[in-house]
Every structure is written in C-alpha cells, then in structure tokens.
Structure 1
Amino acid sequence: MENESTTPLIERGTARLPDKLWQEAERRAALIRPLAIMPIIPAMLAQDVAMKLSISQRTVYRLIQRFRASGGLLTSLAPSPPSGGRGKSRLPMVVEQIITMTIKEMWLSKQKRSAEDVAQEIKRRCIRANQEPPSFNTVRDRIRALSARETIKQREGTKAARQLSPVQGNFPAVASPLDLVQMDHTPVDLIIVDEITRRPIGRPYLTASIDNFSRCITGFCLTLEAPSAVSVGLCLVHSVIDKTNYLATLGIEGEWPIWGKPRVIYVDNGAEFHSEALRRGCAQHGIELRYRPIGEPQYGGIIERLIGTLMQHIHTLPGTTFSNIKERGEYDSDGKAILTLSELEQWLTLVIVGQYHNKIHSTLLEPPIERYKSGLLASKNLKPMVQNKKGFLIDFLPIINRSIQRHGFMVDHINYYSNALQPWIAERNKGEKFIIRRDPRDISRIFVLPPNQNEYIEVPYRTLNLPAITLWEYRESLKYLKEQGFNKLDEAAIFRAIEAMRKIVDSASASTRAARRRKARTSHLTERKTISNSQNVILSMDADLEMEYMPAKPFDVIEEW
C-alpha cells in the first residue's frame, strides 16, 4: 500500500466533472463494470456492450483496461471534456464555470427562477469577468441536459422527485460477500467519561455497517457528534480498509479480514444519507446507494438487529443506560461510568473480532466469519480494495466553491492563505472558481483544488497561531456573539468568542457534564502542533512569486481511529 504521508491528494472527478459527462460515465459503468470483473471477457458480450454504447469493440476493451487500472473508479469511464470543434463547446473554461455555478445556484433551487433569469445572470457575471457571454440557446441546452429527477428534486422537493422513481420491490438478493451492506446510526446505551478528568460526558453515537450475506460487521465509527455525512464517510472508510494496522494500533490480537468496496449500500432516509458528496462519492467508487422505502421497516431489519445485539453487549458495561428508563430503574449510570470514547472503541472492536464474528449466527447457523470466508472462495468476483484511505475519504467531504482574493480565501469569516496560492492570486481577476473541501472536525485547514488542476493544495489559516477549531465550535461562537449583542462578525471576534467559550468550559468542566462533553468534542485538536509566538503570525502575501514552494501534505491528521 502506498505511503499516504507523501502521496498527493488527487481530485479524480467527483467535484469537477460536469453533470452531462458524469451521467455518461454512469451509463458506461453500468455496462462496463460487469465485464471488468471477469477474468476472461467473451467477445459476444464486449460486442453487445459496444452496440449499446455506440462505440467500437476496441474502445470497450480500452475502457475496461482504464476502469481496472483506476481501481474501479466511475470517473475513469467519463468521456474527455469538449475541446472545441463541430458539435462541441468552444466556450472558455471560465465561462463554463460561470454557466455551471449559475445554473446550480438559480435554476436548481426552490425559487424556481426562469431560464431567462438564469441567462441574464450568466451574462452579467461573464461581463464582470471580461468574458463574452454565451447565447440564450446555449444556456437553455445546458438546462435541458440536466437530469429530470435531480431538477425536480432541487426545484420541487424530494417527495415530487420520488414520483419519478420506479416502485421498489423485494429486498435485493445477495449471492456473495459485500454484495450489499446496510448502514445505520444509534445513540449508544452507555455513559462515557472524559479522557482527562474521567468524569461522565454523556452518550456517544455509533454508526455501523453490516454485510448482508455473511452478517459480518464491515466497519463502525464512534463520535460525540450527531450523525452526519462525515460520520457516514468515516464509517465507509473503516469498512473498506484492510484493518490489520488498525487492530495492531489498538493492541488487539485477532483477525478482521473484512475489507473492500461493497456493491450496494442500503441506508434509511436520514438527511445525512442524502448529501451530494455522499451520492457522488459512492458513484465514483462503484457503490450503488439505495434507500429504505418509507414505511417499510422490514427493509432495515438486519442492521437494526445488529445494533440491538451490540447494545445487549454494552448493557453489561459499567455506566450503561440500558434501553429504557424502566429497565434502568435506580441504576446510577453517571456514577458507574468508567470508559472513555477510545476505550469503548477498543472494547467494541474486541467484541466484534473475538465474539460476534465467531459465534454461530441464529439465522445462518454458522459463524459470520466462516460464512464470509466460504463466500469469498465461492465468489469469482474480487472486491476492489482501497489503496489510499485518505483520498477515499475526501471524495465524501462537502464541497464549497470560492473565488480567490488577494488575501487567499475567506470561508465562514475565517481567512486561509498559503504561498502555494500565489500563481493564482496573480491572476485572480479572471474570476475563476476554486473547489474547496474541509473536514468539519478540524477547520484550521482547507483543501483547495485550483482550476484546471487535479491536485489539492492544503491551505492553513492565514494567521498561523490561531487555535484549531471544529465547525461545531465555529457555529457555537456565532450563537455566543449574537447573545452578546455583536452584529458585525469578523475573524478576530469569532476567535475571541471561542477563547472565551473554552475558558467557560474549562472552569465548568469540573462540575457539569455538558461542559465536559463540549470539551471532549474538541480534545483531538489539542494534539495539533501550533506555532509558538506571542504575536499573530500572518503569512506574507507579497513574497516573491518566483519562490519555490513544496506541495502541502494532504490530510495528515484526518484519521481518528
């Protein structure tokens, strides 16, 4: 496996590929993927796919080769972007970006703006960027090329879009391991304690996933945050990676040989499962995302029974809350609590590896791990392995679009800057949009994808000695400032508020559980190295543009296992 500390973080199309090319890649993948997993491809099948895709048989074999080489990424099958010529777009990249962003902001919104309004706004933005505006017909054609279901979903709502979906039938049949994985969240029936004071801080959340074929647990994620798109991504990462190093880090002897990308993920209809980042991330990695039919609880029975089984184990631990007040009775959950979040993670891993996987399952009548291994031997399809888990996770992080300014970027009133941005700052009058991703658990850095580039740049705070904070802390600071009567928000006010809030939490943590929980939610940030300086360290924006700069190392602290 590659050394992730030195591997560049590459954008592979999930953020930038236009919808039209994305849809064509999905169409190709539906036909190419079944061929790519075959050791020998019958010529008749290749010829049939060629006819359906209106390409040559030779091109089919080239697409299969590209798909295999990429590790099964959907974007490896995308057609090359138009380069100009008969029947192709001759528009500059800047104009293409303006069209895409304006349609997304105005057409794909509940305001239901007209095509004429969208075209006028595109014209205004192009003139401001010193670009020739496209014709109305061009804008209209781009709108017509959008997915009908996605358009209705954004303009009318999910309920209206669902009317376009086919009626869902029985639960999908599974023939081999990782054909289908179910995922769900739950509050854990246990009070945990703070890492430092060992005093109670409340119940964590568990996100878990299970393989339907074998009933093996593919992965899980424990957090103090409520379920979100990020916790879904973290659980997915844990599911697909080789867990040998993970077990060694926890000091656990045993095996957890469940790794690889699932074919289908089955989830409920929670908002965290409907993010665009999750949808594109799954599509990019050849993972089909399916939703449980509303009002049909039997479709989630397997994952819910697993969660029930895990909670039964947890009910044996000191500090359990049991499943309800009646069952808990007079048991003092806070007073009995002894496990920290990391200790609970270690204990839960031991339960999975040492007990759950090796006990005879009541439905399968054999241990899940034996069912998984025998299923692998019988299956002819190799499960794609993820080589770079950091790169895998970034495909599931939310996307922000920003233009670059002389000071770099401002995201949520916080300034970010790196000398690596200087070539684009010098040409900032072009008005090009940059793609930005950030990990909500630590927003002291952002990951910036410049136009026409495929490698992310890690960009820290402009004021380097500001403390690392979470997105949750940032939002809490806005509430705090509003309560204090502040109307004008800026970076200095936000960090003064966060410092004041942290002092309040520190002084209160000895007496209140809520304060200790707030402190624990940011404890991982204290491990980050900060620049020691009595005054603010601000990166210069007037340095020599010819200076050498080293590409920043991406995602060096993203993992929290």
Structure 2
Amino acid sequence: MASISIEVNSLICFNNENYLVKRISDLDSIIGERTSDLKKIRIPINEIKSPIIEGDIDTSPTAAYSEEEWEMARRRFEIIEPFLQLTNRASQINESSEEHGIHPSTIYRWLERYESSGLISSLVPYQKDGGRGKGRISEKLEPLIQDIIENQYLRSQRINISQAYIELQLACRNENLEAPHINTFRKRVKAISLEIRTKNRDGKKNAQEKFEPIRGLYNKATYPLSIVQIDHTLLDIILVDNETRRPIGRPWITVAIDVYSRMITGFYVSYDPPSSMSVGLCLSHSILPKEKYLLNLGIEGEWPCWGIMNTVHADNAKEFKGRVLKRACEEYKINIQWRPIGTPHWGGHIERLIGSLNGVLHTLPGTTFSKKEYRENYNSEDKATLSLIELEKYLSMYIVDIYHKKVHSGLKVSPMFKYTEGLLGSGSFGGYGLPAKVSDEDKLKKDFMPFFERTVQRYGVKIDQIYYYHDILRRWVNSNDPKIPSQKRKFIFCRDPRDISIIYFLDPETRNYYSIPCRDITRPSVNIWEFRDAIKHLKDQGAKSIDEDKIFDAYERLNNLKEESKIKTKHKKRRTKEGRTNVHESIKKIQSENLDTIDELDIKPFDDIDYGSY
C-alpha cells in the first residue's frame, strides 16, 4: 500500500491494532475507533501506519526494476487506467481483453494489485516460481466479486461491507464455489477510491462538492497540494565547516512551495549546484512528515505539510528530467509540468519566496548581500560563523515560527491559516480533507534518490576513496554479469551526501536496500562537503597521493587545529560564538522590523539572477 487514507471511515493501524477513522480533530490527530472492541481514542497522525490486511502487496524500490520491467508495468497501467474511475466496468474490461488479447481475469488481477498499492511498480511481472504456496482468486469467482461490489455495495441503499459479503457468500454457494475470506473482500472494496464510493452511495452532487476541483487557469491551484512549485538559487551567505569553522562557500537551496496556501512544503540545502539529487531530496522532504526532522534540529514548532502533491511545476533544467525523478513521479502519480518557454511569471510564487529567504539571510553574519556596493566594506568570509546544519536550523525556524504564521500579502491571511482552512474547512466550506500519508517512508526516500553502479570486490566497494563493506556483499564478490559473462556485474548503490559513512546496496534478488558501513567503522560520520574540504586541505599541503587514511587523518588534524584556535583566539571566538548561537535573537530581530507582509521585499525574477557574479 503506497499511501494511507486519512478520511472518515478509512482503516488505519496504530500500535499494531486496526482502527476506523471516526473524526478528523486537527492537522495533528484523529479520533479512531478500534475494530476489535469499538473503543475510541485520540491518535497522533504521525504515528498512523498502514492497516493490517491479509495479502498486502510487497513492492520494491523503483531502482530494482530493469527498463524492460518498468516499461511492461507502464503498458499494463495504460490498459487499466481507463477503468480506475469506473464502477460498472465489466463490459469495458471484456472489450479491452479482446482488443489486447488478455483474459479478463488478468485485467482484474492487475486492477486489484494497483488499487491495493497505488504504485505502478505493483504491475511489474512477478518472478516466476510456479505459484506454489500462493492463493489466487479463480476466474469463476472474480466476476461474482465484481458483481456484488457494483450492484450491491456501490448503491444508494448503502449496505455495509459485512452485508455485501453475505451476498457474496450466497452467490458463491449457488455456484458451488468457495467464498474468499472477508478480509480479501474488504480489501477489494477499500481499494475503490473514496470519490467513486461517495458518488455511487451518496450521490453525484455530494461527490462533486467534495472532490471536484474548481476549474480555472491551467496553473491555478484549487486545493492544498494540488500544485507545488520547486526551484533553486544560490544563497547570499558564506558558511563555515561545522567542526573546523573554516569558510567553505555559499550554499544552494532547493525549495518547494504549495501554490494554494504558500506553505513551504520542504527544502534542501547543500554546497552542490542544482542536480537530480537536490530535487529528489527536496521532494521527499516535502512529502514526508516533519515531526522527526524538527525534533532532530531541536525545534519545537509545527510544520504540518506532508502528503503526495498532484502536480509539480518546474523549469526546463536538466535536473528535473532525469530517469530517477521521472520513474519516481510515475510511481507516485505526480504530474510534472514544465515552465513554458518565455513565461518567467509562470513560477512567480516560488521566485518571490526565494527572494524573501535571501532577504532574511542579509541579517546574518557572513552575508554576501544582493548588491555589489553593499559588500565593499564587508568581508563576508571573515564574518562567516554559521555552518550548513546551523543554516538549515535557522531556515526551518524562520519557516515554522515566522513565515507560515505571518499574513501573506497575496492571500490576506497567513499560509498556515489558508492551508488549514483548505484541508479542514471553515464556516460553510467543508475543506478537501487530509492528504494520504505515505506508508513506506524509506522506500520513498530511496525512490527519489539517484543511484550509481559499482562492482563488488574482495575489499567491498570503493567510492570517493572510501571503502565500504558488509557480509551481505560477500556472495557478490567478483561476480559476473549474467547477461554478459565476460564482464563483471555492476550493482546499484545510493548515498545521502549528508552522511557518507553509510551507503545503501540494492540486493538484486531480494530487491531491498541494505546499509553498508565504512569498512573501518571507527571513521567519524561526515558529510560529502566536509570530506572534500579535507581532500582540498591535503592537496594544498602538496600530498602526492590521497587515500582514505590520509583523508580522515587530515580531517582529524583540522579538528585539532580548531581546538588550538579556541585557545589562541579566545576573544575572537567569543564574538564569533555570539554571532553564531544567536539564532533566536535573529528571529526576534526580524519580527521587530515590523514586516507586516511576506512578499514586500525588493527582489528580481529568478531567471535574472546571475549565479556567476560571486
């Protein structure tokens, strides 16, 4: 199951027990009724899991599939897509089976797999194993199930699932067939979209009021997460190494904004120029809940943005058109719309936001400002005190405590108010309901993370002069490519640049990722930019050859240099500390500047920013 529906009467799991959602309390909690004894309790949304249902489809990361497998899944999806929003679809499925030369029961199985998971990868052909030990609904039983659902359950009489199941049992007895388990039937019913169930059981008008988007301009957002804009910029600040406090350079930010409410759905900062990695990490940050993220940063505020967006607006840069991003968006049914050429205003919301964020940074030590004349008497490198993680915390605090809560000039209300109203409603407006929650967060992170290929040697795997090893790699050492036996087999790995002490290995048989640590587990946890800084330090010292030991020794020496500098320049470090640790004071300073609205900063269109000026 790709996502967890959080709607009234939807089935969820909390503390390993199934509950029915009875009421949406707010953006943080629901009232659930335990299915075992009907006891009602308040359940935090961030602790909701997928319901426990027999026969759930286990899907693998998208990188596990070959191009041929993925293309097969896409072709199957194209066949079943016309039937996903239909209730009485038996006749259309029969016509499609004749057109494509596929048995109707096969199409029904594809529909069941897709509707149960919501993932295109569920349509990848199974590895053939003879089907031993696996149950399958018979070809005679399939039409009976579909008939009961269409002609009994999806009707204005509104009979419940248990009553519909009794009708199925009677139909099976008349045909001398064994009825499926009630959980199998319940799973089939729950797989039908809530919009279809509402339309057929409550009437077309009710369904339109709840689900029909308001038509407008092609880029007009009509509900939360209907359109998310994403873009990048080079930030106007110089940062320092988190340990050595040496200046490193200016960071890039990739940020996403919900057009409907102007809520920031997520962002990613790094020293690397825009890439498929930065786009993927920004989107996964946007989609996933933020409670753990804020807890790790030590921030007490709330950031209730989570859920899969319907459409992403992006420019035509190559980082938005990579294979990994395309496949991940197909997997989660995210539509990507490219910015029309010659229409710089098309991405205006995200550009104004980026300008606002850069304006905030001009109050921090180490800023490079936005205009050259402002930098003439200001040494940005000498003043720099914030590290990358400290900047990330600063931005998160600003987003949570100020930006989301201040009145937006274009909305006349705060982004948080607009977002909450759009989901939960206000007055006579009922709201669009909470978005579905991703059930497998780790899979989503890996799906949006670019991968690379390496052979497995006796020492393990070598990446950027670092050796990684785990016993799970042992059986793949020096293995040959099954398609080209004369060549060594390459395996899929991925890595988060914020912690390169671990890489992730995709086992080709289990189709699961496994963590592979540094071969020397005593190595400290570092990010890729600190690692590169250590390499640069070695090269500056004239090192003729560079290996893993030398790099980490250099990193340790840089740390020792930091400790020595604390003693020799105590007075300077005191002033640096004051500038570096006063994050809360900077926040208060911004608040005291009486910025009544968010969008009143002097900024220029994103397309006009000259990244090479500095």
Aligned mate of 1:313, from 354, 360, 365: 360
Aligned mate of 1:435, from 486, 492, 495: 492
**C-alpha offsets along residues 375-427 of structure 1, whole Å, 9 cap, x if unaligned?**
33456576332234333221233333344444444556654432223344497
1:78 alignment partner in structure 2: 124
Name the count of aligned residue pairs: 412
- Contact conserved, 1:404 with 1:434, CA < 8 A, in 2? yes
Once residues 335 and 484 of structure 1 are traced to their aligned partners in structure 2, the CA distance between those partners, rounded to angstroms, is 25
Establish whether residue 456 from structure 1 lines up as the match of residue 519 from structure 2.
Answer: no
**C-alpha offsets along residues 158-212 of structure 1, whole Å, 9 cap, x if unaligned?**
xxxxxxxxxxxx8534332212211112222234455456675543322210012
Q: CA 1:446–1:192 in 2, change beyond 3 Å: closer, same or farther?
A: closer
2:66 alignment partner in structure 1: 18
1:51 alignment partner in structure 2: 96
Once residues 371 and 196 of structure 1 are traced to their aligned partners in structure 2, the CA distance between those partners, rounded to angstroms, is 41
What percentage of residue pairs aligned between the two structures are identical? Answer: 39
SS in 1 for 2:495: strand
SS in 1 for 2:394: helix
Aligned mate of 2:503, from 446, 449, 454: 446
- Contact conserved, 2:61 with 2:512, CA < 8 A, in 1? no
Q: CA 1:31–1:183 in 2, change beyond 3 Å: closer, same or farther?
A: farther
- Contact conserved, 1:74 with 1:283, CA < 8 A, in 2? yes
- State the AA in 1 paired with 2:309: P
SS in 2 for 1:373: helix
List gaps (5 residues or longer) in structure 1: 4-9, 85-169, 512-561
1:95 alignment partner in structure 2: none
Q: CA 1:183–1:276 in 2, change beyond 3 Å: closer, same or farther?
A: same
- State the AA in 1 paired with 2:473: L
- Contact conserved, 1:406 with 1:428, CA < 8 A, in 2? no
Superposed displacement of residue 75, structure 1:
0.5
TM-score by length of 2: 0.56
**C-alpha offsets along residues 418-453 of structure 1, whole Å, 9 cap, x if unaligned?**
222334449769655432223344444432223322
1:93 alignment partner in structure 2: none
SS in 2 for 1:43: coil
SS in 2 for 1:374: helix
Q: CA 1:34–1:329 in 2, change beyond 3 Å: closer, same or farther?
A: farther
> What pairs with 1:380-529 in structure 2 (closer than 5 Å)?
383-411=435-463, 415-425=467-477, 431=485, 432-465=489-522, 473=531, 477=535, 493-499=546-552, 501-502=554-555, 505=558
1:121 alignment partner in structure 2: none
SS in 2 for 1:15: helix
Once residues 310 and 324 of structure 2 are traced to their aligned partners in structure 1, the CA distance between those partners, rounded to angstroms, is 18
1:216 alignment partner in structure 2: 263
2:148 alignment partner in structure 1: none
2:237 alignment partner in structure 1: 190
Q: CA 1:379–1:77 in 2, change beyond 3 Å: closer, same or farther?
A: farther
Aligned mate of 1:227, from 270, 274, 279: 274
Once residues 317 and 228 of structure 1 are traced to their aligned partners in structure 2, the CA distance between those partners, rounded to angstroms, is 27
2:370 alignment partner in structure 1: 323
SS in 2 for 1:302: helix
**C-alpha offsets along residues 36-75 of structure 1, whole Å, 9 cap, x if unaligned?**
6x7xx522599379739845666555444433443x3221
Which one has more relative contact order, counting CA pairs under 8 Å at least 6 apart? 1
- Contact conserved, 1:474 with 1:494, CA < 8 A, in 2? no
> What pairs with 1:234-249 in structure 2 (closer than 5 Å)?
234-249=281-296
SS in 1 for 2:233: strand
SS in 1 for 2:393: helix
Once residues 444 and 95 of structure 2 are traced to their aligned partners in structure 1, the CA distance between those partners, rounded to angstroms, is 30
- State the AA in 2 paired with 1:301: G
Superposed displacement of residue 319, structure 1:
4.1
Q: CA 1:57–1:410 in 2, change beyond 3 Å: closer, same or farther?
A: same
**C-alpha offsets along residues 273-306 of structure 1, whole Å, 9 cap, x if unaligned?**
3332222222222223333244432222221111
Once residues 339 and 420 of structure 1 are traced to their aligned partners in structure 2, the CA distance between those partners, rounded to angstroms, is 40
Establish whether residue 42 from structure 1 lines up as the match of residue 56 from structure 2.
Answer: no
- Contact conserved, 1:11 with 1:455, CA < 8 A, in 2? no
Q: CA 1:458–1:199 in 2, change beyond 3 Å: closer, same or farther?
A: closer
- Contact conserved, 2:466 with 2:548, CA < 8 A, in 1? no
Q: CA 1:469–1:242 in 2, change beyond 3 Å: closer, same or farther?
A: closer
1:178 alignment partner in structure 2: 225
Once the two structures are overlaid, the 10-residue window that deviates more, 60-69 or 422-431, is 422-431
Once residues 299 and 524 of structure 2 are traced to their aligned partners in structure 1, the CA distance between those partners, rounded to angstroms, is 34
- State the AA in 2 paired with 1:43: N
Once residues 44 and 482 of structure 1 are traced to their aligned partners in structure 2, the CA distance between those partners, rounded to angstroms, is 70
Q: CA 1:214–1:24 in 2, change beyond 3 Å: closer, same or farther?
A: farther
Superposed displacement of residue 484, structure 1:
5.8
Once the two structures are overlaid, the 10-residue window that deviates more, 201-210 or 377-386, is 377-386
Superposed displacement of residue 350, structure 1:
2.9
Once residues 508 and 244 of structure 1 are traced to their aligned partners in structure 2, the CA distance between those partners, rounded to angstroms, is 36
Superposed displacement of residue 219, structure 1:
0.8
List gaps (5 residues or longer) in structure 2: 1-46, 50-57, 131-216, 425-429, 567-614
1:163 alignment partner in structure 2: none
SS in 2 for 1:358: coil
Once residues 429 and 280 of structure 1 are traced to their aligned partners in structure 2, the CA distance between those partners, rounded to angstroms, is 24
Once residues 34 and 373 of structure 1 are traced to their aligned partners in structure 2, the CA distance between those partners, rounded to angstroms, is 33
- Contact conserved, 2:232 with 2:254, CA < 8 A, in 1? yes
1:544 alignment partner in structure 2: none
Superposed displacement of residue 78, structure 1:
2.9
- State the AA in 2 paired with 1:77: L
Once residues 399 and 412 of structure 1 are traced to their aligned partners in structure 2, the CA distance between those partners, rounded to angstroms, is 15
1:142 alignment partner in structure 2: none
SS in 2 for 1:232: helix
SS in 1 for 2:437: coil
Superposed displacement of residue 214, structure 1:
1.8
Once residues 336 and 277 of structure 2 are traced to their aligned partners in structure 1, the CA distance between those partners, rounded to angstroms, is 16
Q: CA 1:478–1:19 in 2, change beyond 3 Å: closer, same or farther?
A: farther
**C-alpha offsets along residues 298-333 of structure 1, whole Å, 9 cap, x if unaligned?**
222221111112223333344433211234553454
- State the AA in 1 paired with 2:252: Y
Superposed displacement of residue 481, structure 1:
7.1
